[in-house]
Amino acid sequence: MATPAGIGQPGPQNEDGRTDNDRRLFANLREINAAAHKWQAELTAILDAPPGTVTGQQTAINEQLKRKPQVDAYVRASLASIRDVFEHDLKEHEWGAAVLVELDLAWQDIDNHWPLDPNKPEQGMALIGLIRDKLDAIICTCLANTLTPDINDRLRNLDVGQPLDLQFVYGEEFPRDPKLRKRLILEVAQERGVIASGYCDADACLIYRIASNSKERHRCVWHLSGLVLLGLALAGGACFLGLLLPNWPIRPYQFGTLINYVFLFLGAGLHLLIDALKQNRAQTKPSFAAMDDWLLWLHVHEKAVIYGILWADLGYLLLTFMVPGMDWKGAAAAGYSIDSVTDLFLTRFEAAIGNAAAQIKPTAA
């Protein structure tokens, strides 16, 4: 994997930290990748629907004898451009020397099996399959060095918390070999310092957009804490509505209601903690779990957590109204299973409202 662009390179840098030489190298690598990928796709089309006759095979081989020099022109021109950059920029040469060697040798390896012989169609078709597979190494090397800069460019267009789906965006550009695809995604997950405003969940093949500085990322803690405290204040206010409403189901001055609210959220938090521990224990590759960095996890999932808190508040209100005398143990158990509990009592509440409405309609008539 290449050194992050813009780190230690000489010359003027743009807003994204890349020098002109960085951009030139990335452009050359993308040209090589595009040429190799295009040729690989054509070879795959031949192999997926191979000609059924010798004449057809010979025709396919002759077409590739014309195509290879065209691809070769792009690859060699780009390799020459990379060498020119390295000749004048030692720091670019320092981090990119191995990349140039890998690409140069991989292309020479293909040259070693060229040209195809139309008079030996079976051997020619076998070599087409071999070359198609060897192009994977070139595609993988190019993507390994251009993927993270492109991801950084795309993340700027996303909202905080919005995911970038690697399979959807780059799936068609990835190598054919599933092992190389997996390797590329895991390499991206390891490059946390290179992806300026993103966090990679390798298991889901997603990169979440995050705020550019820690102050903005930690702001979500205050947002969520304020929402929980607001719910606590509303729970306290519910204790005093009995002074104004004679049939209010909560008796005034029952501060056990506040205790139930606290334990409901403790139960919900315990459920989240246990799930995070299970995920962290089960994972065998880098994955974005709450146990890894809970502040960052909250920042990325802030909207989902807000909806979860509101859902828990709704469940708390329904429980308080429909289960008189609930103690802190029941509240903690309900919080641990808040999703199903809220669904259950919301259904009962809707049924009760429906029955009440049915009784009102004849009276109104």
- Complete DSSP assignment for 73-121: HHHHHHHHHHHHHHHH-HHHHHHHHHHHHHHHHHHHHHHTT----TT-H
Q: Is 0.85 topped by the overall pTM?
A: no
Question: What values do phi and psi take at 255, rounded to 5?
Answer: -75, -5
**pLDDT given for residue 249 in this prediction:** 67
As a dihedral over the C-alpha atoms of residue 21, residue 26, residue 28, residue 34, rounded to 10 degrees, the angle is -170
**pLDDT given for residue 8 in this prediction:** 41
**pLDDT given for residue 33 in this prediction:** 95
| Domains observed in the chain | 20-156 (1.20.120), 214-364 (no CATH)
In angstroms, the CA 81 to CA 73 distance is 12
**pLDDT given for residue 226 in this prediction:** 83
Sign of CA dihedral 345, 348, 354, 360: negative
In angstroms, the CA 303 to CA 208 distance is 13
Smallest CA-to-CA distance from 239 within 228, 251, 229, 227 is with 251
- Kindly state the DSSP code that residue 18 receives in the 8-state scheme: -
Burial 110-133 (b: 16+ CB within 10 A, else e): beeeeebebeebeebbebbeebbe
In angstroms, the CA 259 to CA 330 distance is 11
Sign of CA dihedral 31, 36, 41, 46: positive
**pLDDT given for residue 11 in this prediction:** 46
Sign of CA dihedral 77, 78, 81, 83: negative
Mapped onto helix, strand or coil, the DSSP state of residue 19 is strand
In angstroms, the CA 42 to CA 53 distance is 19
- Kindly state the DSSP code that residue 353 receives in the 8-state scheme: H
As a dihedral over the C-alpha atoms of residue 69, residue 75, residue 76, residue 79, rounded to 10 degrees, the angle is -170
Task: Answer whether the bond into residue 163 is a cis peptide, omega within 30°.
Answer: no
**pLDDT given for residue 9 in this prediction:** 43
Task: Tell me how far the alpha carbon of residue 202 is from its chain's centroid.
Answer: 7
Pairing outcome for strands 206-209 and 163-165: antiparallel
**What residue ranges in the chain does DSSP mark as E strands?**
163-165, 198-201, 206-209
| Strands across the sheet containing 206-209 | 163-165, 206-209, 198-201
Question: What values do phi and psi take at 329, rounded to 5?
Answer: -65, -45
**pLDDT given for residue 106 in this prediction:** 95
In angstroms, the CA 154 to CA 169 distance is 10
pLDDT digits (tens, 9 = 90+) for 260-303: 778 887 887 777 777 766 666 665 544 444 445 677 777 777 78
**pLDDT given for residue 211 in this prediction:** 81
pLDDT digits (tens, 9 = 90+) for 183-224: 998 888 887 778 878 888 888 888 888 887 777 777 777 878
Is-contact 227 314, C-beta < 8 A?
A: no
Q: Which residues of the chain register pLDDT less than 50?
A: 1-13, 285-291, 345, 349, 356
Smallest CA-to-CA distance from 211 within 191, 197, 231 is with 197
